[in-house]
Structures are given as C-alpha cells and as structure tokens.
Amino acid sequence: MVIAAELSGGLALIAGMWSRWVSIALIPILLGSIYAPHGAAGFFFSNPNGGWEFPAFWAVALASLALLGNGTYALQRTRG
C-alpha cells in the first residue's frame, strides 16, 4: 500500500495533478518512514539503514508544495 501510494503520488506531483492534496496525503507516509525504519539510525542518510534527515527534508518540501499549489506548467492549473 505504501509503495503504491508513493508511486502514484510521485507521478501525480510530477504531472502537476492535485498537487496540494497529494502532498498533504504523502506527508504522513514520510513522517511514518522517519519513525519506523530511519529514526533509530541517526541523522545522516549515509549511516547504515539510512538516517532520518532525508525523509524529513521531503516532508518539509511537501508541506511547502501544499502551501504553494500547482505551478505554471502543471497539467492542472489553478485559476487566479
């Protein structure tokens, strides 16, 4: 389920479809990946089993994308 959500969500973000909703839906998945597999490994992603800073970076990036919305070249443009 997580792989399908990340794959379909990533493709939707690349295409620019429902960027705000998709990014909001993917934030809990990334926060869960910080807690479960990467939390005990430390901060740096080069540590064995990876660190938690890379999923944390993507969670912050998704939060900013949720605030910004679709871009100019998105398939689904916001009207304004």
The whole-number pLDDT of residue 39 equals 67
Q: Is residue 74 part of a domain?
A: no
The number of residues in the chain equals 80
Per-residue pLDDT of the chain (80 residues; tens, 9 = 90+): 989 999 999 999 988 888 899 999 999 998 888 887 766 777 777 777 777 788 889 899 999 999 988 877 777 665 54
The whole-number pLDDT of residue 66 equals 92
Q: Is residue 51 part of a domain?
A: yes
Total structural domains within the chain: 1
pTM (2 d.p.): 0.76
The whole-number pLDDT of residue 78 equals 58
Q: Is residue 19 part of a domain?
A: yes
Domain that holds residue 47: 2-68
CB proximity list for 42: less than 8 A, separation 6 or greater:
51, 52
The whole-number pLDDT of residue 80 equals 46
* Measured CA angle at 66 (ends 7, 28), to 5 deg: 55
